[in-house]
Amino acid sequence: MKLPIPPHLLAIPPYVPGKPIEELERERGIAGSIKLASNENPLGPSPRALAALREALGTLHRYPDSAGFRLTRKIARRLGIAPEQIVLGNGSDEILSLLARAFLTPGDEVLLPQPAFAMYEIEACASGAVPVAVPLKEYRTDLEAMAGRLTDRTRIVFLNSPHNPTGHRIPAEAVAAFLVGLPAGVILVLDEAYIEFVRDPRGPDSLSLLASGRPMVVLRTFSKAYGLAGLRVGYGVMPPEIAALLHRVRPPFNVNLAAQVAAEAALDDEAFLEESRRVVHEGLDFLREHLARLGLFCLPSEANFLMFEVPGDARAVYEGLLERGVIVRPLASYGYPRHLRVSAGRPEENLRFLEALRAVLQR
């Protein structure tokens, strides 16, 4: 069948998600697998969110509040900003789609680090824009090189901090200087999906940067620290003028009722958030120590995962782990064929991963 497919759509690299547990067990005929591939919360969802969901089940025949009034205002109070600065999304990656719809036209350029979250490039290509990828320098975002690639066609610059998959966080002064140097009309999008796990206090105070009045969007999510990845809810914080434009292209009811109710309750669950941080930080420290004992190079991380190098082809190690019911993330698609990424899990999951890894490396 021949269809008139626009050429720019054929250039889109498909997004490859982490392998689901169900798929692995179906393919390999095994049970009791663990997944440390997608940077999910090892403790599961917030208990307060689960309780709120149970109460809301009887109202699922109703459409959600399309404006997300209650959740938007709770986030605004928590961050000390105006509700008019917030746009809710079906995951924070929907905000990427809205930005592309609102600001990109064919031939525009989108600047991004390489590697980075695949949806930056996908959304740029879907709009007919040209992704301009700037390689990392020693596993860190190279802001100097990115500044050198700005042109009069640049419309959006994407940064993720902490960076995925390296876990590096960009220093505060570096982000501030980069923002000041952007040409008029260029939007800086700072993706902070892992912000709740950061231990380094020197990172950028993104909300203060927003207050400067420059065109900037900060992305955050309930998928990681709050344990609501399956409900798909995130948000962007931005100047009201940008938010108003995104609302023009935002689909109605884009954040479902269950997601809004759960996210609102999760914001109040401070005890769960603190426990999540504790488990993740202890898990990262444990994993990094034992990866080093195995003689493996491992990057420091301000997120909830670690990127590490293995001898030879990482794909073979990944497959060996799958045989033992352990799912991690291979990074060849990110340009690192010798590296894997592992999310911090519960103590027993971390131990099982290390035992499986040791067995695979000793084959």
The pLDDT of residue 213 is 81
Give the end of a domain, one of 267, 296, 326: 267
Query: Which of 212, 237, 267 finishes a domain?
Result: 267
Determine, yes or no, domain membership for 1: no
Question: Within a domain: residue 287?
Answer: yes
Would 20 be classed as within a structural domain? yes
pLDDT at 1: 60
Token readout for 111 is 């600047």
Number of structural domains the chain divides into = 2
The CATH number for 31's domain is 3.90.1150.10
What's the burial of 248, exposed, middle or buried (CB within 10 Å: 0-12/13-18/19+)? exposed
Verify that 204 and 65 share a domain, yes or no: yes
Predicted pLDDT at 15:
67
Provide the domain limits for residue 14. Answer: 7-44+271-361
The pLDDT value given to residue 268: 95
pLDDT values of the chain reduced to their tens digit, one per residue, 363 residues: 676 777 777 777 676 667 777 776 687 777 788 999 999 999 999 999 999 999 999 999 999 999 999 999 999 999 999 999 999 999 999 999 999 999 999 999 999 999 999 899 999 999 999 999 999 999 999 999 999 999 999 999 999 999 999 999 998 889 999 999 999 899 999 999 999 999 987 666 788 888 888 899 999 999 999 999 999 999 999 999 999 999 999 999 999 999 999 999 999 999 999 999 999 999 999 999 999 999 999 999 999 999 999 998 899 999 999 999 999 999 998 999 999 999 999 999 999 999 999 999 987
Q: How far apart are CA 54 and CA 209, in angstroms?
A: 39
Query: Is the alpha carbon torsion for 12, 130, 233, 228 positive or negative?
Result: positive
